[in-house]
Amino acid sequence: MQEYDVIVVGAGAMGMSAGYYLAGKGCRTLLIDADNPPHRNGTHHGETRIIRHAYGEGREYTPMALRAQALWGELEDETNRKLFLQTGFLQTGEPGSQMLTEMMDSAEEHKLPVEILDAAEMSRRWPGVTFPEKMIGCYEADSGIMLCEECIKAFRESAILKGAELKVMTPVTDIRPDREGVTVITSEATYRAKAVIVTAGKFAGGLLSQIGLTPPLDPIRKAVGWFGTETDEYDSTSFPAFLFDLPEGVYYGFPSIDGSGVKVGRHDGEHRPAPAEKALPEFGAYPDDEFDLKQYMQQYMPQAAKVLLKGSSCTYTMTPDEHFIIDRHPDYPHVVIGAGFSGHGFKFASVIGEILSQLATGEQPRFDLKLFSLKRFQKLSTKEG
């Protein structure tokens, strides 16, 4: 039986990052994935992800976002790959919007350079958008876009160069921890390690149930579309990544990169299940895949709403409060969990990989992780009971 210091089960964004940092420490590291990352069957595909620092989902995330940005920069330098585009980021909504208020508070608490703009100023800067008169916005110029598949490739190549082993197209069938370590069983072989990190996306719930954990993880299907533009007003050289917190829904998107079209998705809205054992229905499987996105574009970006160039579907693995799970198993501290990233985790993949590698090797991360503890679900059950 082959033995390692740490085995990483699930080598998507978080797992591949963790493997990279483990290998960098000199740990004997094995990464195992049921597919061949980067791939289209998880949560890391779709070309782009937003990275932002003043965080509307909770100011506790901001120190992690800043660390993530620094680590992405280090990975760019090390691999000579372009991973980040500094397009800026605009979050807008009506006064009193919870996400907008939290972003402002986060910027103030952490002294981040964020501009507060009214509708007239936003219309002047970005004439391709129709901003209702009562809208306000927060603009963060040093944020932007991560090229997600390129990020996975960079972590993968560097982790292997540092000595990590990678097994692809290899589903894990069982995880068996004991007091001395953990045994990981796949369809092909059995492996042994001092510690394991479980970062298996929509498969995490099933794997964790084997080791006595049942966190409320809900994999759901989401759709995104790319819309053709008639002008250069939406080009990434002048147009930011964006998030609209509207009464009718929360929409996010990306400028057109080299003519790719404006990419837009809806963060909230219809929650269709994405069972781990079933293939994800392609974009267009449901009529509202296109209709919902096109309706938003027609109202707010009419010059980019006429032609849908392409669409894609992906998976969010949700927790009830939409905060992550980053923790150790309560009975087996050498079993580390990274799960439930709820559709806003990718930007943090660099720092979360660093944190998971530290937890697996007995180090103390620099961040307060109480927000991401498994214990919060026990408290939730107690209150509901």
pLDDT for 295-312, tens place per residue? 999 999 999 999 999 999
Query: From the candidates 53, 222, 266, 267, which is the catalytic residue?
Result: 267
Query: Which structure tokens are listed for 169?
Result: 């197209």
- pLDDT tens-place string over residues 62-102: 999 999 999 999 999 999 999 999 999 999 999 989 999 99
- Does 179 fall in a domain? yes
Please indicate whether residue 314 is annotated as part of the active site.
Answer: yes
DSSP output for 120-151: HHHHHH-TTS---TT-EEEEETT-EEEEHHHH
Shared domain check, 130 and 226: yes
Q: What is the pLDDT of residue 380?
A: 45
- The residue whose two tokens read 């972590």 is 155
- Does 263 fall in a domain? yes
Q: How far apart are CA 171 and CA 192, in angstroms?
A: 16
The lowest-confidence range among 31-35, 186-190, 353-357, 375-379 is: 375-379
Query: From the candidates 43, 156, 314, 344, which is the catalytic residue?
Result: 314
Cα distances (angstroms) measured from residue 178 to each of 118, 185, 195, 211: 58, 14, 10, 10
Higher-confidence position of 275 and 178: 178
- Does 60 fall in a domain? no
- pLDDT tens-place string over residues 337-377: 999 999 999 999 999 999 999 999 999 999 999 999 999 99
Shared domain check, 17 and 161: yes
pLDDT of residue 384 exceeding 70: no
pLDDT of residue 45 exceeding 80: no
Residue pair 94/239 in contact by the 8 Å Cβ criterion: no
Q: What is the pLDDT of residue 43?
A: 78
Please indicate whether residue 27 is annotated as part of the active site.
Answer: no
For residue 121, the one-letter residue type is E
Shared domain check, 223 and 288: yes
Q: What is the pLDDT of residue 381?
A: 40
Query: From the candidates 67, 194, 202, 263, which is the catalytic residue?
Result: 263
Q: What is the pLDDT of residue 383?
A: 35
Express as a percent the part of the chain with pLDDT over 90: 90
Of 267, 283, 316, the residue that ends a domain is 316
Please, which pLDDT band fits residue 183 given cuts at 50, 70 and 90?
very high
pLDDT of residue 385 exceeding 60: no
Please indicate whether residue 130 is annotated as part of the active site.
Answer: no
Indicate the DSSP class of residue 279: P
Shared domain check, 307 and 245: yes
Shared domain check, 267 and 244: yes
In degrees and rounded to multiples of 5, residue 115 shows phi and psi of: -95, 135
What's the whole-number average pLDDT of the chain? Answer: 94
Shared domain check, 272 and 224: yes
Q: What is the pLDDT of residue 27?
A: 98
DSSP output for 221-250: EEEEEEE--SSGGGBTTT--EEEEEETTEE
Of 299, 316, 333, the residue that ends a domain is 316
Longest distance between any two alpha carbons in the chain, whole Å: 66
- Does 68 fall in a domain? no
CB-based burial of residue 69 (10 Å sphere; 0-12 exposed, 13-18 middle, 19+ buried)? buried
Q: How far apart are CA 218 and CA 319, in angstroms?
A: 6
pLDDT of residue 382 exceeding 70: no
**What pTM, to 2 d.p., does this model score?**
0.95
- Does 372 fall in a domain? yes
Query: Which structure tokens are listed for 347?
Result: 């930007």
Query: From the candidates 222, 266, 323, 347, which is the catalytic residue?
Result: 347
Q: What is the CATH number of the domain that holds 106?
A: 3.30.9.10
Shared domain check, 204 and 162: yes
Q: How far apart are CA 356 and CA 334, in angstroms?
A: 11
Residue pair 185/178 in contact by the 8 Å Cβ criterion: no
Query: From the candidates 48, 62, 199, 317, which is the catalytic residue?
Result: 48
Residue pair 37/9 in contact by the 8 Å Cβ criterion: no
The per-type count for the chain, helices as H runs and strands as E runs, is 9, 20
The distance of Cα 5 from the centroid of its chain, to the nearest Å, equals 27
Shared domain check, 238 and 285: yes
Shared domain check, 195 and 307: no
What is the pLDDT averaged over residues 44-49?
A: 86
- Does 100 fall in a domain? yes
Shared domain check, 209 and 288: no
Please indicate whether residue 347 is annotated as part of the active site.
Answer: yes
Shared domain check, 242 and 307: yes
The count of structural domains within the chain is: 2
The lowest-confidence range among 42-46, 256-260, 271-275, 332-336 is: 42-46
Please, which pLDDT band fits residue 277 given cuts at 50, 70 and 90?
confident
Query: From the candidates 44, 49, 194, 344, which is the catalytic residue?
Result: 49
Please, which pLDDT band fits residue 41 given cuts at 50, 70 and 90?
confident
Q: What is the CATH number of the domain that holds 194?
A: 3.50.50.60
Express as a percent the part of the chain with pLDDT over 70: 98
The lowest-confidence range among 10-14, 35-39, 347-351 is: 35-39
Quote the domain boundaries for residue 275.
89-141+218-316
Of 285, 316, 347, the residue that ends a domain is 316
- Does 18 fall in a domain? yes
pLDDT of residue 318 exceeding 70: yes
Shared domain check, 305 and 255: yes
Query: From the candidates 45, 266, 329, 344, which is the catalytic residue?
Result: 45
- Does 84 fall in a domain? no
Please indicate whether residue 199 is annotated as part of the active site.
Answer: no
Q: What is the pLDDT of residue 379?
A: 58
